Amino acid sequence: MALVVVTAGVWFGYQRLTAPSCSGALPLVVSATPEIAPAVQAAADRWRADSGAVGDTCVAVEVTASDPVDVAAVVAGQHGVALAGVGQASGTAIAPDVWVPDSSTWLLRLSSLAPGFTPANNESVARSPVVVAMPEPVATNLGWPDQQLTWTDLLQQITTGTELRTGIVEPTRDAAGLSGLLALGEAAGEAGANAQQATTAALRALATGRSALREDLIARFPRSADPASVASALGAAALSEEDVIEYNAAQPPIALAALYLEPAPMSLDYPYAVLPGADPAKAAAAAGFYSVLTGAGFRERLGDQGLRAPDGTWGAGFSAPQGAPSPAGTAPATVTPDSGGTAAGGLDPVVIDRTLATWTSVTLPAQMLAVIDVSGSMLEPVPTADNVTRADLTREAARRGLGLFDDSWALGLWIFSTELDGEQDWRELVPISPLSSRRAELEASLSEVVPKRNGNTGLYDTTLAAYLAVQDEWAAGRVNSVVIFTDGRNEDDSGLTQDELLAELAEAADPQRPIQVIYVGIGDGVSQEELESITNTTGGGVFVTEDPANIGDILLKAIALRPTTVR
């Protein structure tokens, strides 16, 4: 009897000592990119076993493996913005309390568009350098592993050679693809007067081998050691180091080499972002869980997943590719758009925006009618651009844009003011035609974009006429759009009213033949609200810069606006 009593007492004491010191369950939803999700889940399990709590309340961490593009779409929708190439969120996607995407560039792109998106913490919890993945025989032919290659070397191979088959995951939807694209763009930018030509050539070469999904791209690497198979398969792609480690772990017939090109492109840095709107209890829970992800145990879990610690070094279980440096990768990123203009790898967020816009405009075939304002106000000089006129800047932006489009595009050009062609506010300079046959004519016609002194802005009549013209020429399988450059608001009292224009557009709109109406507003005389009332009816967008000197970047953003599907 005494033994039973003692045993029962010991068991009761043990139960009291090992019982959780918290009660209840405070849910904390964490969305993590798939490659890091297992390590995050293991850390959450360990924290729960150790009675992770906020005060006296237990924290129940729910980890979901979510592609960053899906979470980005949800967050963008919540803030009423659209990320280029991302599209609408799926019905099953949700906004978490904590988001661990693969790159801070997602946070940067969102925060630069939506001022209300101000995630907290944002510190890196892992790292994976972006490398150029090549089948080992291909890499050996380029001097690997003995020779240190640069992005300029790769650019030359892409733009002047014919043997290297390159590919990329759609960079508007993939952070590693974006990192590689930015690095190539920087190398092309060093080509001086030939920078735009080099950039366009590189983008077009990459576009021939692009994939919407990383898995699809990786599947195109050679599956046989036969030389003919190697020559016809994918030869180079910007991927993460983790992608290469995972691929080689399956022991394929031909392993991939990871080339760490110089200068190092921005790494995947896996930021720990506490999304806006968290109440104090959840914010405290998020802070507590973050401390778990900075411990030595998590570093070892990262190694098992082929990931490095935030400082670029690795722990046990990490299978380093041949020639992998340690530490490796770029400095941690900042996601504050007003923090001096830096992003992951020390990049300007404007550069990210411009690069993605250029990529979209170069790689997606389209049919576009460009309509340029030639009212008298376009003669106004621009102090920030050596006092050249607004019309001069617009012509130059159009000329540069024309250089980006390949012969798969179809393009037309109008000008407009008031009573430009009799009582008609617009005049056609070049009808919508394939660039393959009328590029020279379009370039020459830009010299006819000359403002009409004392001319007003016949915006509404011109918008309707341009919309109907594109509708008549509508082409399946392309993005069909009207791009209207203007520095003012409608000033044609004898033409359509705003209500009449909206009614006409609503009646003409055909969901089976969508047309994007895009306004590029120049200067402080533009009414964004007026223009948005039109694009809300037709689809499209409004891009306004008060400083006309920035029209080049604004034009790229406008052209990059694409529907999520092309009919």
Domain boundaries, the chain: 24-126+270-339, 130-259, 364-560
Give the pLDDT of residue 340: 37
Q: In terms of C-beta distances under 8 Å and separation of at least 24 residues, what long-range contacts does 497-503 make, across chains too?
A: 497/460, 498/460, 498/530, 498/533, 500/460, 501/460, 501/463, 501/464, 501/534, 502/533, 502/534, 502/537
How does pLDDT run across 385-411, given as a tens digit for each residue? 999 999 999 999 888 888 777 788 899
Secondary structure percentages of the chain, helix, strand, coil, to 5? 45, 20, 35
Closest by Cα among 533, 541, 543 to 506 = 533
| Pairing state between β 23-32 and 57-65 | parallel
By the 8 A CB rule, do 367 and 409 touch? yes
How does pLDDT run across 74-110, given as a tens digit for each residue? 999 999 888 888 877 776 778 899 999 999 999 999 9
Distance from chain centroid for Cα 353 = 7
Mean pLDDT computed over every residue of the chain:
87
Q: Assign domain 24-126+270-339 one CATH number from 1.10.3720.10, 3.40.50.970, 3.40.190.10, 3.30.420.40.
A: 3.40.190.10
Query: DSSP letter at 416?
Result: E
Is pLDDT at 556 greater than 80 in this prediction? no
Handedness of CA 348, 354, 358, 361 (dihedral sign): positive
Closest by Cα among 287, 273, 359 to 99 = 273
Is pLDDT at 413 greater than 70 in this prediction? yes
CATH number of this structure's domain 364-560: 3.40.50.410
Topology alike, domains 24-126+270-339 and 130-259 = yes
The count of other CB atoms within 10 Å of the CB of residue 116 is 12
Is pLDDT at 379 greater than 90 in this prediction? yes
Is pLDDT at 477 greater than 90 in this prediction? no
Token digits for 308? 């490095």
Integer CA distances (angstroms), 505 to 11, 271, 413, in order: 79, 44, 21
The count of other CB atoms within 10 Å of the CB of residue 237 is 28
What CATH class does 130-259 carry? Answer: alpha beta
By the 8 A CB rule, do 524 and 453 touch? no
How does pLDDT run across 185-226, given as a tens digit for each residue? 889 888 776 776 777 778 878 887 889 899 999 999 999 888
Beta carbons within 8 Å of 83's beta carbon, 6+ residues apart: 72, 73, 76, 109, 110, 113, 172
Measured CA angle at 75 (ends 73, 81), to 5 deg? 75
Compute the distance between CA of residue 564 and CA of residue 90 in angstroms, rounded to an integer.
12
- Confidence band (pLDDT; 50, 70, 90) for 13? very low
Q: Average of pLDDT values for 46-70?
A: 93
